[in-house]
Amino acid sequence: MSGRQKKILIRIVLAAVLTVAAALLPVKGWLRLAVYLVPYVVVGWDVLWRAGRNILRGQIFDEQFLMAIATIGAFFTAEYAEAVMVMLFYQTGELFQSIAVGRSRKSIAALMEIRPDSATVLRDGEERVVAPEEVAPGEIILVRPGEKVPLDGRILEGQTTVNTAALTGESLPRDCGAGDPVISGSVNLTGVIRVKTEKSFGESTVSKILELVENSAAKKARAERFITRFARYYTPCVVIGALFLAVLPPIFDGNWREWIHRALIFLVVSCPCALVISVPLSFFGGIGGASRHGILIKGASYLESFAKVKTVVFDKTGTLTRGVFTVSAVYPEGMEDGALLELAAFAESYSGHPVAASILRAYGKEPDRSRVASTREIAGMGVIATVDGKEIAAGNRKMMEKAGVAVPENTDPGTTVHIAVDSRYAGRIVIEDEIKIDAAESIRRLKAMGVTQTVMLTGDREEAGRSVGEKVGIDQIYAQLLPDQKVAALEKLLEQKPAGSNLAFVGDGINDAPVLTRADVGVAMGALGSDAAIEAADVVLMDDQLSKIVDAIRIARKTMRIVRQNIVFALAVKGVVLALSAFGLTGMWIAVFADVGVMVLAILNAMRALRL
């Protein structure tokens, strides 16, 4: 417990002891009032202070106001013990709330610890320890074993093992060497490495994640907004109702003390703490619980939307497949294998696409980029480059058709890159991508959870898309789609989805930003270092495991069940006790349970979201 929580606990215990002592003392009249006032002030002075301060600020109808009016009124009707016990139980409930929120924040705080405190930068041959914000892209930093990687970059020298658990939720470290990328927030475990930074600290992965988490609370779910509006109108209504209950009936029967007492019970019961506290706490706990699995949900509204997902649409490359291509065959039409591969490597030398990387790996040498005069990448088609004065087109069948190049029919199972030289067909390179190990099992689990439709949208050929889709169990496959056609296909799927359900699109986030944004819920996976993913998606999976999608939906649905349980339980109990109190069938102790007891039970239920 924090220092403040310990102080509240001491006050609660002290007030409880003083209340027992007051009950045992054989005193009456004003003296009895005085001995009960002592524990009341000990445990409730801050509630009275906040109530008075809020009244002066115009914030009248809140829980402090209700507690203050109810307990002070109990003193005026000589129900001293009840007044003290109501305040005592209320503060106990507030302590439970504080502890529960603290645990939720610890879950988020564990993620926030990924923020590095400093960076060791090499300048003028010397090591200088500076704030990460002071390191510019392109500078060399030194990261020793046990230190956090402060900025995104690529290893220049050294071999090591890095732990990305705080980012991805995965405990298994990975080995890195010269040329490999490293992500800010990961922990260097074994060796000393020199890293060339590629981004400033403000643009690095760790900053993006921290900003995302810090802002997640601002995006309220519909259930949270309902509770906020409900409390805004509910509290004044019950205060007015209690006032009528205290004034109107005694006009007819003259029993003012009895009806004022009932009105005070009515006020205690009516306090909406259980709803106002437990519903946001449930969402906060769900977001915190998801973060421990390496699943970053940008706000409660997206968690609520994710719980209703019945249609899941996947990108293929990097999502259902690993995105690590290997050249499986070269079919030259007018030149040798090596010459065709060399032309393709030079044409693709400036591209960042995974297909380009596979061709460069197969070429096995660093292309002499001075031979490349110009290069132009056409989204969804390929690359056109000028190499040694010749125009080289490397891309899919659509690119060849656009260039007026005749392409022979083929049924290769993988992705095909056609090559044309000066508008004459030169051959094709077949590239295959490995399906992720957990892809088929994840699709099966999604269907077992009630997802009614799984769809693949890919820019790849029909043969390649169908081969992957059938192996993993996808229901519908749309292939050979350009980026704008993917959005159009998604629009149709949104129109066809079951009523009251949502559609989630899952992609790698590099070239799927328009589709991620258009879906009801955009999910970017394997998003370490991908700015496009973190910006466009509503849910970010920090590694490339498809099973995390299953976990995310499970967490979202369980969180929503907890929220609904708390709403129904709190409203049902309060409704019954409010009615009974109006007819004088309940005492202050039942009222205390209907307020503080329900609040404590709702908070304890909300805390289950932390263990998802």
pLDDT, tens only, 319-348 = 888 877 778 777 777 677 788 889 899 998
pTM: 0.66
- As a whole number of angstroms, the distance between CA 351 and CA 348 comes to 5
Q: Calculate helix-pair angle for 222-253, 256-270, nearest 10 degrees.
A: 180
Segments making up each domain of the chain, as ranges: 119-150+152-198, 285-321+435-553, 326-433
Torsion of CA 102, 104, 109, 110, to 10 degrees: 120
Class of domain 119-150+152-198: mainly beta
241-287 residue pLDDT tens: 878 888 888 888 888 888 887 887 777 677 666 676 777 778 877 88
- More confidently predicted of 173 and 107: 173
Q: How far apart are CA 299 and CA 355, in angstroms?
A: 35
Q: What percent of the chain has pLDDT over 70?
A: 85
Most confident range, picked from 61-75, 84-98, 132-146, 563-577: 132-146
306 compared with 271, residue with greater pLDDT: 306
Report pLDDT for 336: 74
The pLDDT value given to residue 163: 81
Q: Which amino acid is at 508?
A: D
Mean pLDDT of 388-398: 90
Diameter over CA atoms, the chain: 112
Query: Are 459 and 417 in contact, with CB atoms under 8 Å apart?
Result: no
- pLDDT tier at 476, thresholds 50, 70, 90: very high
- In Å, what is the CA distance from 110 to each residue of 74, 294, 397? 45, 12, 49
Q: What is the pLDDT of residues 531-576, one digit of tens each?
A: 656 677 788 887 778 899 999 999 999 999 988 888 888 888 878 8
- Higher-confidence residue of 52 and 309: namely 309
**412-461 per-position pLDDT tens digit:** 777 788 999 998 998 888 887 788 889 999 999 999 999 999 999 988 77
- Band of residue 199 on the pLDDT scale cut at 50, 70, 90: confident
- Mean pLDDT for the stretch of residues 9-31: 87
Going from the C-alpha of 105 to that of each of 100, 214, 289, 291, the distances in angstroms are 9, 11, 10, 11
Residue 82 has pLDDT above 60, yes or no: yes
Asked whether the predicted pLDDT for residue 493 surpasses 90, the reply is yes
pLDDT (0 to 100) of residue 286: 83
Alpha-carbon gap, residue 286 to 521, rounded angstroms? 17
Assign domain 326-433 one CATH number from 3.40.190.10, 3.30.70.890, 3.40.50.620, 3.40.1110.10: 3.40.1110.10
Q: What is the pLDDT of residues 574-605, one digit of tens each?
A: 788 878 877 777 776 677 677 677 777 877 78
What is the overall mean pLDDT for the chain? 82
| % of the chain residues with pLDDT over 90 | 19
Residue 503: pLDDT band (50, 70, 90) is very high
Q: Quick one: pLDDT band at residue 529, thresholds 50, 70, 90?
A: very low
Q: Which CATH superfamily is domain 285-321+435-553 in?
A: HAD superfamily/HAD-like (3.40.50.1000)
Q: Which of 46, 62, 124, 315 is catalytic?
A: 315
d(CA 309, CA 453): 10
C-alpha to C-alpha distance for 439 and 54, rounded to whole angstroms: 55
Query: Taking 80 as the threshold, does the pLDDT of residue 232 lie above it?
Result: no
To the query of whether residue 475 is one of the catalytic residues in this protein, the response is no
